[in-house]
């Protein structure tokens, strides 16, 4: 009986330790402009019939008299909970600047920079499905004792298995039109079926609802310590020139982020031990107006991005209104710092964002 009691004690101690360990949820919104995040619906676009089919309906949803009210209408969770309990960097009107360090200013180079802490203009210079020669922090963490088998990634774009290099890294990546695999819950089986029955408007990007619910269900059943969720609709709707769908998708993604946060605060494994970091892979143009649809090195402003953080031990600074210059390559080293991982790759050029770093 004593041996059985000791066994139960050891199991309980191990479970408690697992629950108290630091967790990370990294989220990206593909190509979401800092202008919408910090000032809401663009007055030059929201009423522009070249980009909006139902201008009156869209204005009823998202138009208000001030930028503050417009951003709250578009991103209610970010500007309520996160603004009170976390940090929002990147409002260039207030002096807070966040930029890419890669010179390409489009998706694969942006994600590589975020995930590796280093731009690689020599090898990552297209969106082609080429396995990333660089080591992402997801791979790095998956090869440590503390996080082996505790890392998972979910993305709407079908290039993510290549960006994360799932074959080499061993990180499970559910992206594009991939189904959930392994020992599935009933909900995952249903999502697999539904994904095959609901067509996406695009050939390489699935609808974000699938990415979101695959990620949440995996978190519920498998409890990974490190989760990366990459939403993609905002970029594709923008490329389509559909500002109405772009705003509605951004608004829905705000609700997805809220849903994931509330789940982590209800689940004992994640509760009070999870830090969320949210960013984007690139910006978009503003002048001329039609460049809002595009990005790349020939588009002015496409290197202008943003970073949000909230959760465990993140100081509640709200919207940062001081002069500062941050870069996307700082996300990866900041995550390693939060997790207490000391052996960062020597070629990681980004530095830790001291304002975000977790402090015990």
| pLDDT tens for each residue of 72-105 | 999 999 999 999 999 999 999 999 999 999 999 9
| For residue 14, pLDDT beyond 90 | no
| For residue 316, pLDDT beyond 50 | yes
In the chain, the N- to C-terminal Cα span, in Å, equals 39
Crossing angle of helices 55-62 and 67-74, rounded to 10°: 100
Q: 87 and 355 in contact (C-beta within 8 Å)?
A: yes
Predicted pLDDT at 3: 41
Predicted pLDDT at 359: 53
Number of H helices and number of E strands within the chain? 15, 10
pLDDT in tens, 281-314: 999 999 999 999 999 999 999 999 999 999 999 9
Q: Give mean pLDDT, residues 101-115.
A: 98
pTM of the predicted structure, to 2 decimals: 0.94
Phi, psi of 43, deg, nearest 5: -65, -25
Predicted pLDDT at 360: 52
Nearest residue to 241 (alpha-carbon basis) of 297, 290, 207: 290
Spell out the residues 6+ positions from residue 245 whose beta carbon is closer than 8 angstroms to its own: 233, 237
Report residue 345's pLDDT band, with 50, 70 and 90 as the boundaries.
confident
Q: 63 and 46 in contact (C-beta within 8 Å)?
A: yes
pLDDT in tens, 211-238: 999 999 999 999 999 999 999 999 999 9
Report residue 328's pLDDT band, with 50, 70 and 90 as the boundaries.
very high
| Cross-strand bridge partners of residue 274 | 23
Please tell me the distance from the alpha carbon of residue 142 to that of residue 192, in angstroms, as a whole number: 26
pLDDT in tens, 176-185: 999 999 999 9
Q: What length does the chain have?
A: 360
Task: Report percent pLDDT > 90 for the chain.
Answer: 92
């Amino acid at each position: 009986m004593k041996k059985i009691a000791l066994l139960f004690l050891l199991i309980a101690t191990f479970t408690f330790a697992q629950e108290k360990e630091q967790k990370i949820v990294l989220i990206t919104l593909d190509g979401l402009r800092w202008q919408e995040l910090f000032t809401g619906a663009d007055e030059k676009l929201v009423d522009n019939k070249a980009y909006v089919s139902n201008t009156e309906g869209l204005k009823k949803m998202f138009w208000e008299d001030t930028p503050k009210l417009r951003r709250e209408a578009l991103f209610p969770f970010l500007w309520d909970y996160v603004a009170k309990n976390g940090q929002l960097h990147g409002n260039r009107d207030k002096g807070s600047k966040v930029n890419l360090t890669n010179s390409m200013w489009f998706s694969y180079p942006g994600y590589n920079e975020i995930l590796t802490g280093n731009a690689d203009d020599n090898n990552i210079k297209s969106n082609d499905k080429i396995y990333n020669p660089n080591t992402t922090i997801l791979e790095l963490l998956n090869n440590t004792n503390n996080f082996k088998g505790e890392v998972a990634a979910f993305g709407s774009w079908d290039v993510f298995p290549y960006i994360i290099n799932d074959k080499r890294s061993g990180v499970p990546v559910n992206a594009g039109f991939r189904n959930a695999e392994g020992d599935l819950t009933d909900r995952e089986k249903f999502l697999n079926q539904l994904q095959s029955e609901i067509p996406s408007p695009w050939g390489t990007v699935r609808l974000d609802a699938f990415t979101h619910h695959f990620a949440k269900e995996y978190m519920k059943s498998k409890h990974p310590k490190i989760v990366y969720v990459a939403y993609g609709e905002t970029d594709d709707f923008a490329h389509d020139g559909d500002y109405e769908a772009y705003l509605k998708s951004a608004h829905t993604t705000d609700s997805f982020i809220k849903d994931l946060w509330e789940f982590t605060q209800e689940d004992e494994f994640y509760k009070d031990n999870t830090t969320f970091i949210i960013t984007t892979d690139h910006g978009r143009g503003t002048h001329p107006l039609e460049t809002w649809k595009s990005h790349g090195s020939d588009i002015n402003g496409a290197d202008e991005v943003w970073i949000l953080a909230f959760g465990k031990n993140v100081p509640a600074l709200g919207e940062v209104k001081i002069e500062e210059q941050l870069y996307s390559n700082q996300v990866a080293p900041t995550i390693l710092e939060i997790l207490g991982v000391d052996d960062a790759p020597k070629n990681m050029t980004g530095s830790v964002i001291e304002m975000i770093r977790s402090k015990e």
